[in-house]
């Protein structure tokens, strides 16, 4: 379709859709926009900003390397959306190698420390710019997640916002601008999923087929009610602001 907006989507399971890859968070939001979109998704479960410790072929991997997975015949992107942080915290990377952003005027790839989260984040954004220089970029800062350390989330979120400001990356800031917080059991149960429900879609309290506990659902993956209520207003507004259709 000539007028469709092509969105490349990189990141982890929240963008992939976890066990419902037919429609992750970006596709679900994009479908609600007033203009036609085409989402080309490279995100995968377990992916990280840092080089991943997960070695399974269908899990993990570094988000930077997802650039190599764009289909050769794919049209150029009108927009890039990506996320990353959750699995870096989960795998313990930020405790030992958070690192720091390079100087405000330093865009030299040789200065990025690929041993650190900060260096890998800058390298990822720089690679997006190098490959697709005309495409604006949005970072999707996901909700407050009760399954990983909150203070780690806070520290990494502040770093990400600073890096995005330096690199002129828009932030769809669900973490800061929405009150979805799965540290609260009510939010975790109502708005997250780890398995499909009886209807074959990401589960909700009404469709969940297995018993719930203090650990399940984990609070990590937003279900469709969560995306509709919290992600769609924020990510949708950011997409409309950046794409200007």
Integer Cα distance of 156 and 93 in angstroms: 11
pTM value is 0.95
**CA distance to 9, 23, 35, 153, per residue, from 1 (Å):** 19, 20, 11, 39
Q: Which residue has the tokens 């209520």?
A: 229
Could you read off the pLDDT of 79-108 as tens digits, one per residue?
Answer: 999 999 999 999 888 878 899 999 999 999
pLDDT for residue 96: 80
Integer Cα distance of 203 and 59 in angstroms: 22
CA dihedral angle for residue 77, residue 222, residue 175, residue 130, rounded to 10 degrees = -20
Q: Return the bridge partners of 221, or none.
A: none
The kind and range of the H/E element at 29 are: helix 25-30
CA dihedral angle for residue 158, residue 163, residue 165, residue 169, rounded to 10 degrees = -110
User: Which of 80, 85, 61 is closest to 127 using CA atoms?
Assistant: 80
pLDDT-derived band at 1 (thresholds 50, 70, 90) equals very low
Q: What share of the chain is helix, strand, coil (3-state, %, to 5)?
A: 40, 15, 50
Q: Is the pLDDT of residue 244 over 80?
A: no
pLDDT-derived band at 214 (thresholds 50, 70, 90) equals low
Q: What are the helix and strand counts (H, E) for the chain?
A: 10, 5
For residues 99-123, average pLDDT: 96
For residues 56-84, average pLDDT: 93
For residues 13-38, average pLDDT: 97
Output 70 or 245, whichever has higher pLDDT: 70
Could you read off the pLDDT of 152-211 as tens digits, one per residue?
Answer: 999 999 999 999 999 999 999 999 999 999 999 999 999 999 999 999 999 999 999 776
């Amino acid at each position: 379709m000539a007028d469709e907006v092509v969105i490349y989507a990189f990141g982890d399971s929240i963008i992939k859709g976890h066990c419902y890859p037919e429609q992750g968070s970006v596709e679900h939001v994009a479908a609600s926009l007033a203009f036609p979109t085409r989402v080309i998704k490279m995100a995968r479960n377990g992916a990280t900003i840092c080089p991943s410790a997960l070695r399974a072929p269908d899990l993990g991997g570094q988000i930077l390397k997802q650039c190599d997975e764009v289909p050769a015949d794919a049209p150029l992107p009108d927009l890039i959306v990506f996320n990353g942080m959750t699995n870096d915290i989960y795998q313990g990377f930020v405790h030992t190698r958070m690192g720091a952003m390079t100087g405000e005027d330093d865009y030299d790839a040789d200065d990025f420390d690929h041993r650190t989260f900060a260096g890998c984040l800058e390298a990822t954004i720089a690679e997006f710019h190098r490959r697709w220089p005309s495409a604006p970029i949005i970072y999707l800062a996901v909700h407050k997640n009760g399954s990983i350390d909150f203070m780690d989330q806070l520290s990494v979120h502040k770093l990400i916002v600073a890096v995005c400001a330096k690199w002129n990356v828009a932030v769809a800031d669900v973490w800061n601008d929405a009150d979805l917080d799965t540290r609260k059991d009510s939010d975790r149960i109502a708005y997250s999923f780890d398995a499909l429900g009886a209807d074959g879609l990401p589960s909700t309290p009404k469709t969940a087929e297995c018993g719930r506990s203090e650990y399940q659902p984990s609070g990590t993956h937003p279900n469709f009610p969560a995306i509709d209520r919290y992600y769609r207003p924020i990510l949708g507004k950011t997409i409309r602001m950046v794409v200007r259709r």
